[in-house]
Structures are given as C-alpha cells and as structure tokens.
Amino acid sequence: MAADRVTTDFSAAEGSPMITVAVVDDHPIARHGIAHILGALPDSSVTTTASVGSLPELEEALAAGAAPDVIVLDLYLDGGTPALDAVAALSVATRVLVMSASGLPADVLGAIKAGACGYVTKHCSAELFVAAVETVAAGGFSLSAELADILQAELTRREPGPGADVVVGPRLSPREEETLSYVARGFTHAQIATRLGVRKTTVDTYVERIRAKLQVGNKAELTRAAIARLSSDRGSAPT
C-alpha cells in the first residue's frame, strides 16, 4: 500500500503550505493509523509523505533528498531499548516528535534531553496529536497533558534542595534558576509571574537572559535546557 512505501517527494500542494511528516514505527498498522489521522482532520495542514518501519529505511529516504518538517518516531523500535541515540541523531537535522505507548518519566526525560521537541503517548486523541505535530513544526514544544503532570512531579522530586551545589552549566541567578524550573514544568510566562510575585515583563526579561546565557533560541531548546539542568545528577536532591 502507498502509505507503506518510502516516499521522497516532500513538496506541498500548490497554494497550500503543508507541514510534511515522516512516520517511523515498526508496526505497519500503527503507521497506517498515524498517516490516516494526519490526513483525516478537516482543514489540517499536515501531510504524511514518508511512512517507514525502520531507521535504515528513513536514512535511505533522507539520503535520497527527503526533508520532512517533523519526524514522528516510535521510541521503542525493534526491541526493549528506547531509541535515544536515534532521537539525538535525527534532531540535528530536523524536529523530532516522539510517540510511544510508554509514559515512564525516564523515557520522557531521556527523549527530551536527547533532542526531541515533543512527546505524546499513543493514548492521546487525534486532535491533540495533530496539534502536537503543528506545534513542533512551528518550533514549539509539546507534551501530552498526562506527561506534563508526570514531568512536573519528576522534576519537583529532583529539584535541588537548599544548599545544593549549582547544576552543571552556565551560572544563573537564583531568580533565573527559579524561572527556568517553572519553564521546565510547562508554565507560561504569566503563570510564572504570578508564582514569583512579579510582572510578566520581568519574567520575559529573565527568560531572555536565560536564553542568552544558555545559548538557546526557541521554546523547545529552552525547555530541553531547563530539563537537562534540573534532571542533572549533580546537585539533584537525593532519590
């Protein structure tokens, strides 16, 4: 079937800017289902132009000139080990959205630290999945709601306690570190301002300083940097 072939034509339909997606999943039914979802919603700007069952097949498509805006990657390909190396390698070239049945904190944190711009479970709705693809394609960061709760709980558990050593990386002020911890948990600038008791413009300033110090650009990069600092073994609270 067409959806099962490696396709290297990533051109958008005339007059309609499309988000092109490559789907990598070792289960044919899952691939067909994802491809169907991406093309089934009305007014969707997402199209599946490659649907493959393995990383070598994807590499073949990329080598042939395919250039997807987003790669939807099943975290567990061909076995019981998360494909974190693949996430890291692919995220250098394009944006990666991990889709997995696993909601384990270690998998979520590992994928994000490896470079994923989002993580959704296979239990999410079609609408939320397409929205995640669109968010990642636009340079944003997306997590399923239940994963955001898991991530917040995990980062809170790992957050350095009073007197802990500074986490590895550029030195941030206490206010900047606090702001970054809220960013990692998915709070908006307005929500962070309320929790810190400052104006939103002040939070905007903190975030711009953090971006400059950590040398990150978009929201996805900032979120990954925040998670990497808070989940670092050095300076973490005892488990």
Name the maximum alpha-carbon separation found in the chain.
Answer: 60
- For 42-101, the three-class secondary structure string (H helix, E strand, C coil) is CCCCEEEEEEECCHHHHHHHHHCCCCCCEEEEECCCCCCCCCHHHHHHHHCCCEEEEEEC
Q: What is the mean pLDDT of residues 146-164?
A: 63
Type of residue found at 35: A
DSSP 8-state code for residue 142? E
∠226-229-231 over CA atoms, to 5°?
105
Instruction: Report the chain's mean pLDDT, rounded to a whole number.
Output: 77
Res 74 pLDDT > 90: yes
- Ramachandran assignment for 97, one of left (phi > 0), alpha (psi -120 to 50 degrees), beta (any other): beta
Q: Work out the pLDDT band at 223, boundaries 50, 70, 90.
A: confident
Cα distances from 189 to residues 12, 152, 179, 211, in angstroms, run 35, 16, 9, 14
pLDDT of residue 98: 94
